Amino acid sequence: MEHKTIWKILGVLIVLIFVVISAGILSSGCLDSGTEVPVTPKVPITPKVTITPDMEIAKTFVNLLNESEFEKAHGFFNKDVAEALPVDELNATWNGLIDQYGVCTGIVNISSTEEKGYELVFVTCNVSNAFLEARIVFDIHEKIAGLSFRPIYPYQPPEYADPDTFTEIECTVGTGKWKLPGALTIPKGEGPFRAVVLVAGSGPEDMDETIGPNKPFRDIAWGLATEGIAVLRYDKRTYRYTEECLAMIKNDNFTVNDETIDDAIAAVDLLRETERIDPDNISVLGHSWGGYLAPRIAARDENISGLILLAAGARSLPDIIIQETEYFASLDGKMDEKERKSLEEQTEQAKKVKELNISKGEILLGAPESYWEDLSDYNPVKTARNLTRPILILQAERDYHVTMVDYEMWIKGLTGKNNLCFILYSDFNHLFMAVPGTGKATPADMYIPGHVAPIVIDNVADWVKNQK
């Protein structure tokens, strides 16, 4: 959804909660398909499990952090992590987490899994208004080989979602080495139901498009299911297979087909084969980067019945990145030397991308030559104009990422096209949530707890129901 670091495409976000991952243990196994799961909010507490030695060490480690015994805690690291995260930085990291999320009042859950020869232990702490999960990777010597933290916010459904009207079924999108865990939210009843596939924005998005306390894709799925529309969402490949995607980027054989498009097509195919789904009424809803690529997805599959574009960029990705960098630098009313240098570097990289002046093995704006070459001839507006399917385009006026410039380009480029609907919302941010203030929203606004606005759910539901 946002391009914040050098890994703009893969979106490995090194923010306050992400410390260091040295073991590359970021992917996890796919879920079995066809399993119904509860749709009520869940606290991250699981039944009692067998405690392994690594789990005991992980518990001790977190307790030492909470007791400010950073020297002792640092002693559990292996050599690589100890060098990457010195004692003072471990101290600053933990206290930064406490400042942001509140004091840890106790451990509420410990669980573990084994992946690629490593044991990965999850320690969940209770903090103010949320939970804080430590992900701790152990090597064969029972030393910590990787460490990261993330907040877990218990999901509170929006008022427009009625869990009594639908069920949520775990499923698997795709086959072979890229199988992805997904969730089909389907209304109760015989059907057949119209359906929507959700395609997430940039970065390693989970199936809910989680950002801080917000889960816009779960809001959309539950809201539309309440209105009688089935919704399929799934983890992005870059979220589930980060290590493998990084290798493809480094080897210069990574494109948007690998990142997004192939999996979106697989999700549509899965819905067509699913009972109680109307195979002739499956639309694709793309948000942000997913919206930018949605016309290309539809061009690959002529049986997709319609497109819904939420905050879809019309400009090239380099142009959007430069505009966003300029906006970030302007937020405090001045541009310091660090910001000026960053902007100059981004501008130079953007120029090279547009000219395809990319050296072998060079990574520009987070992606290799293969990625940029694949996108060089793609124009989402022109591609959409050549489609015969109906299109709904939604834009939030306060969005600083995909702005009114993009929206006006869509309007101008699609003027005269049939089966087209535009809706502009004056008060919402990039997540289509209402936030305080006026003018363009800020990055901090993305972390204010909220839900996708009811009118957005209503507009999308009405549009889907009215398609022939």
* pLDDT at 277 exceeding the cut of 80: yes
- Residues 146 and 275 occupy one common structural domain: no
Mention every residue, 6+ apart, whose C-beta is less than 8 A from residue 418.
Answer: none
SS3 category, 98: helix
Model confidence band, residue 1 (pLDDT cutoffs 50, 70, 90): very low
**Between 387 and 43, whose confidence is greater?**
387
* pLDDT at 43 exceeding the cut of 50: no
Range from 133-137, 150-154, 244-248, 452-456 that averages highest in pLDDT: 452-456
Distances (CA, A) of 437 to 329, 429, 451: 19, 11, 17
Is residue 168 within 8 Å of residue 233, measured between CB atoms?
Answer: no
* pLDDT at 438 exceeding the cut of 80: yes
Claim: this prediction has a pTM higher than 0.75: yes
Active site positions, annotated: 288, 399, 430
- Residues 325 and 391 occupy one common structural domain: yes
- Residues 306 and 210 occupy one common structural domain: yes
Q: How high is the pLDDT of residue 8?
A: 38
Report CA torsion sign: 270, 215, 157, 306.
negative
Q: Which of the listed residues 127, 152, 177 is the one where a domain comes to its end?
A: 152
Q: Which of the listed residues 122, 137, 152 is the one where a domain comes to its end?
A: 152
CATH number at residue 446: 3.40.50.1820
- Mean pLDDT, rounded, for 25-36: 32
Q: Which domain holds residue 144?
A: 21-31+42-152
Q: Which residues of 199-221 are buried (b: 16+ CB within 10 A; e: fewer)?
A: bbbbbbbbbbbbbbbbbbbbbbb
